[in-house]
């Protein structure tokens, strides 16, 4: 008799309980995945609506938020960083940054260490736009988070961090040139 047929020496009730737990786990994981997808879609729509109401392009708001988050993280973004996070060509980033500079949302500053590099900083106009959106989202997130214990929030933070790593890894794999593939 094969190992699978014997059930690893477990009684049928044990195997049934384990199968139910795995099924429950799989169903819960699928629901979480669906909620993450909906959250991603809703966040994109939220930025689209917010940008439209401000007379801006949604890509400009996404870029402005990326620049602001980089500043808050202590490492102001470069145009190259923006190209990577926004999945844009260097030419498209130049146009985007030029537009944000002209509108008074962003300013270019030389890097303090390497004067050949440019850092992007959010100006007062951009702080108003990014700050308003971040405060609205923050207030709602804080309201939801207040219902969770520290242990629950830690688990959510760990889970989202791991999902972020998995997503970034998949993105890198999709962006990598196909080695050995002949161009058509």
- Kindly write down the DSSP assignment for every residue of 5-68, as one continuous string: HHTTT--HHHHHHHHHHHHHHHHHHHHHHHHHHHHHHHHHHHHHHHHHHTT--HHHHHHHHHHH
- Residue-level pLDDT at 115: 86
Of 5-14, 24-33, 141-150, minimum mean pLDDT range: 5-14
Contact 64, 122 (CB under 8 A): yes
CA angle, 42 then 139 then 69, to 5°? 70
Q: What is the pLDDT of residue 11?
A: 56
Residue 73 has pLDDT above 60, yes or no: yes
Three-state DSSP at 100 gives helix
Task: Give me 44's structure tokens.
Answer: 């994109």
Q: Are 65 and 130 in contact (CB under 8 A)?
A: yes
CATH of 57-172, one of 1.10.10.10, 3.30.950.10, 1.10.940.10, 3.80.30.20: 1.10.10.10
Would the pTM count as exceeding 0.85?
A: no
Would you list the domain boundaries of the chain?
57-172
Q: What is the largest distance, in Å, between two alpha-carbon atoms of the chain? A: 75
């Amino acid at each position: 008799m094969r190992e699978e047929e014997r059930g690893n020496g477990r009684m049928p009730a044990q195997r049934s309980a384990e199968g139910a737990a795995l099924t429950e786990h799989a169903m819960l994981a699928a629901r979480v995945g669906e909620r993450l997808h909906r959250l991603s879609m809703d966040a994109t729509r939220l930025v689209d609506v917010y940008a439209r109401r401000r007379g801006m392009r949604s890509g400009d708001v996404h870029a402005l938020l990326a620049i602001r988050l980089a500043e808050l993280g202590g490492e102001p973004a470069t145009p190259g960083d923006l190209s990577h996070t926004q999945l844009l060509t260097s030419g498209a980033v130049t146009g985007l940054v030029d537009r944000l500079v002209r509108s008074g949302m962003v300013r270019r500053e030389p890097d303090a260490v390497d004067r050949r590099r440019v850092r992007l900083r959010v100006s007062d106009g951009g702080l108003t736009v990014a700050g308003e959106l971040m405060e609205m989202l923050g207030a709602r997130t804080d309201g939801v988070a207040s219902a969770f214990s520290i242990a629950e929030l830690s688990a959510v933070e760990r889970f989202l961090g791991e999902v972020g790593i998995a997503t970034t890894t998949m993105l890198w794999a999709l962006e990598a040139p196909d080695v050995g593939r002949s161009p058509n």
